[in-house]
Amino acid sequence: MALNVVIMAAGKGTRMRSATPKVLHQLGGRSLLQHVLDTVAVLGTTRTVLVTGHGAEQVEASASSGTKLGITCVRQMPQLGTGHAVQQAAPALSEAATTLILNGDVPLIRPATARALADACGGQHLALLTVTLTDATGYGRIVRNAATGTVSAIIEHKDASNEQREIREVYTGMMAAPTALLKRWVAALRNDNVQQEYYLTDIVAMAVAEGVAVVTASAGSDTEVLGVNSPAQLADLERRFQRQQADQLLDVGTRLADPARFDLRGHLHCGQDVEIDVNCVFEGTVRLGDRVRIGANCVIRNAELGDDVVIHPMTHIDGDTAGVKVGAGSLIGPFARLRPGATLGREVHIGNFVEVKNASLADGAKANHLAYLGDASVGERVNFGAGSITANYDGANKHRTVIGNDVHVGSNCVLIAPITLGDGATIGGGSTIAKDAPEGQLTVARARQISLKGWQRPVKTKR
């Protein structure tokens, strides 16, 4: 079945109190609109039309960069209601298709639900997506014929009588219709209502008058049809979304200390017997091997962790575009930071207040305290002392430090790149090394120690 999709994304979102267009606010690390586009991508559409208005340039740029869908953008200027929005989209729609209408601020609609709605239309009916809510405030009510139970109208909340407001079955803002009929119906809309807007819901009465069956499809839950109109609603939907993701991980055996204190803003792939403590945030694409343990309050982005890796609390791993890789059996943290390009071998130890950037550490290397390794290649079984750093930046360019196997770097050393430390070299504590150190030898570069007899500390002057 040929399928057009219209995504309504023109609203300003006044109650968001933000300069950012409403549909570009983030939910789970992606914009509201991107969630909808991801759903549409699964449906196999003939044509996708995005209706923009407020912040049109930003919205259109985001849509174009965030999906491989071929999207036609039309602008609704000014915004005169949902019916008016579809009027702008109508010329871009293929008539030999069903048209599915979705909302850019309703991000969690499932592909199966969207497909069921299109199927209910079947190219000949007007199909409405409905849900039953305990509190239906703000939603259009589904009015049914008392005798037959068929849909006779949708009454907007603002225009509903007190009796109609008691109805709990509501229209979600999403529908599907034969395109030729939809075009004719929206062309005939009028704005003689309280808001003086063109309501798309008025086409229900037109369908009934013409004898076109008005059918419904039901959403699986209220979560997938909830829209975002305020920061409070966005926060509520964020927690619902995160709980959904947490439940999916629990279902495959991942142990979450508290599913209510877990945030996934991307894609998380977990091996067997993974344990994740509270208040951890995962962003981008993260892969965890078998038996990985993540301590409390960690942030991990774009990283791959091998089997049996332990990430102690308060660790920050940010792979950005370059990624971070941690080999099997490694121990990281607490309070460690792995930056883009950090590649660690097996059983590497990175301890508290150690930062690694664009550096590789081979199997068994250790930097356990208060160190910086930037733009470095570190060999096997290296011990990098507390307080030591690679001085990789000369004020204009970055340079690389190469440390061979079995090197011992004492505490409080500065290695001024470019420099190479040969296999088995030892660097005496407190050294500033600016030349290559030969393998197997002790290299020391520090001032001669002296003690001054008779020296006294300064005394504070009394006033």
Distance, in Å, from the CA atom of 245 to the CA atom of 242, rounded to the nearest integer, reads 5
Query: Are 208 and 267 within one domain?
Result: no
Active site residue 369: yes
| Other C-beta atoms lying within 10 Å of the C-beta of residue 144 | 16
Distance, in Å, from the CA atom of 226 to the CA atom of 136, rounded to the nearest integer, reads 11
Strand 280-288 and strand 262-270: pairing?
A: parallel
Cβ-based neighbours of 364, under 8 Å, separated by 6 or more: 345, 346, 347, 348, 380, 381
Task: Give domain status of residue 457, yes or no.
Answer: no
Task: Give domain status of residue 448, yes or no.
Answer: no
The answer to whether 440 and 425 are in contact (CB under 8 A) is yes
CATH of the domain at 312: 2.160.10.10
Query: Are 39 and 182 within one domain?
Result: yes
- Report pLDDT for 172: 93
- Report pLDDT for 130: 95
Please report which helix (H) or strand (E) contains residue 374, including its range: strand 372-374
Query: Are 351 and 412 within one domain?
Result: yes
Query: Are 167 and 314 within one domain?
Result: no
Task: Give domain status of residue 416, yes or no.
Answer: yes
Residue in 257, 326, 252, 321 with CA at minimum distance from that of residue 289: 326
Cβ-based neighbours of 161, under 8 Å, separated by 6 or more: 155
Distance, in Å, from the CA atom of 377 to the CA atom of 371, rounded to the nearest integer, reads 15
pLDDT tens digits, residue range 87-139?
999 999 998 899 999 999 999 999 999 999 999 999 999 999 999 998 888 88
pLDDT tens digits, residue range 379-394?
999 999 999 999 999 9
Task: Give domain status of residue 104, yes or no.
Answer: yes
CATH of the domain at 57: 3.90.550.10
Task: Give domain status of residue 240, yes or no.
Answer: no
Query: Are 211 and 330 within one domain?
Result: no
- Report pLDDT for 19: 94
Query: Are 267 and 413 within one domain?
Result: yes
Predicted model pTM: 0.90
Q: Give 99's strand partners.
A: 4, 177
Distance, in Å, from the CA atom of 434 to the CA atom of 430, rounded to the nearest integer, reads 13
Distance, in Å, from the CA atom of 117 to the CA atom of 148, rounded to the nearest integer, reads 21
Distance, in Å, from the CA atom of 360 to the CA atom of 325, rounded to the nearest integer, reads 9
The answer to whether 134 and 63 are in contact (CB under 8 A) is no
Handedness of CA 389, 355, 285, 56 (dihedral sign): negative
What tokens does 298 get? Answer: 């960690």
- CA distances in angstroms from 151 to 86, 199, 224, 354, listed in the order given: 22, 17, 22, 65
Tally of domains within the chain: 2
Query: Are 16 and 100 within one domain?
Result: yes
Place of tokens 């990098």: 384
Query: Are 403 and 337 within one domain?
Result: yes
pLDDT tens digits, residue range 58-71?
999 999 887 777 89
Query: Are 61 and 162 within one domain?
Result: yes
Q: Mind giving me the DSSP string for 165-202?
A: GG--EEEEEEEEEEHHHHHHHHHT----STT----GGG
Cβ-based neighbours of 155, under 8 Å, separated by 6 or more: 140, 141, 143, 161, 164, 201
Which residue out of 157, 369, 399, 408 is catalytically annotated? 369
Query: Are 289 and 408 within one domain?
Result: yes
What tokens does 385 get? Answer: 């002392």
Query: Are 158 and 265 within one domain?
Result: no
The answer to whether 329 and 312 are in contact (CB under 8 A) is no
Query: Are 313 and 170 within one domain?
Result: no
- Report pLDDT for 449: 86
Task: Give domain status of residue 295, yes or no.
Answer: yes
pLDDT tens digits, residue range 343-377?
999 999 999 999 999 999 999 999 999 999 999 99
Task: Give domain status of residue 251, yes or no.
Answer: no
Task: Give domain status of residue 346, yes or no.
Answer: yes
Domain housing 416: 261-443
